[in-house]
Amino acid sequence: MKSKLVGLEKCAVLYLATLGWLPNYLLPYDVMTAMKRFSLTEDHVGWLASAQLLVLSLTALLMSRWISRLSKRTWSMGACFLGFGATAAMIFAHDLYIYAALKIVFGVAAGVLVACVYGLASYYEHPEKWFAQAAIVIAVVYGIAMYVAPLLIGRYGPTGAEIVQLAMMALGLVLSPKMPAASLSWTTNMTQKSRTRSIGIVWMLAAVFALFISQSVTISFAGPSSHSLMIDDEKLGLTFTIAALIQIPAAVLTNWMGNRAGAFKPIYWGLAILIGTALGMYEGWSRWGFFVALSLINAGVVIANPYLLSVLAELDETGESAALAGSITNFGLAVGPALASVVFGFGGVRPVGWTAAGLLVLAILMVLAASRSITQYGRTPPFAERA
């Protein structure tokens, strides 16, 4: 019988889950401030941002191999300390190479946090609910951060973004001792996965990868697509704000659903919303179609992704596969912009939408294959025993 995630442990998990996304959400300000501080051009600063995200993904990938045997509390505390120290040093760094090295160190810290949080999915009841709750916390925390960052940059100069990051890591330091340890012994036999589990896990991880490549592809050229519809940047920014806010009711809906609809139906619903989003944004049907589609871009992910992770948690009780999904998520986000650029170069904005939608169709087929492999080899479908 799995225990429930409650109290200060739950607060720590939900907040530390937000810190794993910090390099993604603060990326626009990181790029802008790095260019001002070190007189970098767009191409050079882009490589620096990509390097940090790549290190984050590789760290989470490496950690996923041993995450079941590691104390999530100890490693989260260490990651928060490392991230806090690296951020503090960034504020005073005057040499580009030192600054770049510190960004890489922060990427390592964020990767450890991703692995620790995702690795908890198999240890507690209803991970789909607390991943949905994490989406609400992410929306609120980064809504505040994105509002405060320009104010601090205006007052303190280019280091304003690092000050925001430092404050967020300081709170992480306070909460990290409340993280669950949740480690298995070296002698535990739970790492011996059956052929049934292995097949389902591979398909589900592939679906996570396709989902987040598509998400990154879809968001990459929202600007050029909006310009083709004569939408100005102010309205585009307002729509991005609405998209962030709609993430909250979508997460509330996912939290309410729990296991009512089973494990797979919400995944299909979320992916269907995202297919509509990709086509609505890039097929040039109408300006209102673009607004509605872009507004739902986060809602589809908030519905589908918690259930993808919950199925992985059911199939692999060690938490290693769920932690691996955290790494794959970041790899997908990193691959998407490059793929979108290639497609855009060949045919403009419309093929970008079809590429994103095609990846989501592949994700649906992969989830179908996972569902079939689970039932074909006699394993009870996820959530069936709790439905």
Secondary structure of 101-146 as H, E, C letters: HHHHHHHHHHHHHHHHHHCCCCCECCHHHHHHHHHHHHHHHHHHHH
Instruction: Give the chain's radius of gyration (CA, Å).
Output: 20
pLDDT above 60 (res 103): yes
Shared domain for 143 and 79, answered yes or no, is yes
- Does a structural domain hold residue 24? yes
Tell me how many domains the chain contains.
2
- Does a structural domain hold residue 185? no
Q: Would you state the pLDDT for residue 384?
A: 43
Neighbours of 342 (CB within 10 A): 12
CA atoms within 13 A on the CB side of 131: 29
Q: Summarize pLDDT for 328-359 with one digit per residue, the tens.
A: 988 888 788 788 888 888 888 889 899 999 99
**What residue numbers bound the domain in which 119 lies?**
7-178
Which residues 6+ apart lie within 8 Å of 188 measured at CB? 68, 318
What pLDDT band is residue 186 in, cutting at 50, 70 and 90?
very low
What pLDDT band is residue 35 in, cutting at 50, 70 and 90?
confident
Of 135, 137, 166, the closest CA to residue 149 belongs to 166
Q: For 319, left (φ over 0), alpha (ψ -120 to 50), or beta?
A: left
Mean pLDDT of 218-239: 80
Shared domain for 218 and 104, answered yes or no, is no
Last residue of a domain, one of 178, 204, 224: 178
376 vs 12, higher pLDDT: 12
Query: Are the CB atoms for 322 and 316 separated by under 8 Å?
Result: yes
- Does a structural domain hold residue 1? no
Q: Summarize pLDDT for 119-178 with one digit per residue, the tens.
A: 888 788 888 888 888 888 988 888 888 788 888 888 888 888 899 999 999 999 999 999
Shared domain for 114 and 196, answered yes or no, is no
Q: Would you state the pLDDT for residue 208?
A: 95
Q: Would you state the pLDDT for residue 387?
A: 36
Shared domain for 164 and 250, answered yes or no, is no
- Most confident range, picked from 117-131, 261-275, 315-329: 261-275
What pLDDT band is residue 1 in, cutting at 50, 70 and 90?
low
CA 319 to chain centre: 17
Share of the chain above pLDDT 90, in %: 37
pLDDT above 60 (res 193): no
Query: Are the CB atoms for 138 and 18 separated by under 8 Å?
Result: yes
Residue 3, beta-bridge partner list: 124
Shared domain for 157 and 204, answered yes or no, is no
What pLDDT band is residue 67 in, cutting at 50, 70 and 90?
confident
Shared domain for 53 and 199, answered yes or no, is no
3-class SS at 158? helix
Q: Would you state the pLDDT for residue 275?
A: 96
Shared domain for 167 and 250, answered yes or no, is no
Last residue of a domain, one of 178, 202, 220: 178
- Does a structural domain hold residue 249? yes
Q: Would you state the pLDDT for residue 122?
A: 79
What pLDDT band is residue 216 in, cutting at 50, 70 and 90?
confident
Cα dist. 290→180, 257, 270 in Å?
Answer: 43, 28, 18
Shared domain for 14 and 134, answered yes or no, is yes
Q: What is the amino acid identity at position 377?
A: Y
Q: For 374, left (φ over 0), alpha (ψ -120 to 50), or beta?
A: alpha
Last residue of a domain, one of 124, 154, 178: 178
3-class SS at 66? coil
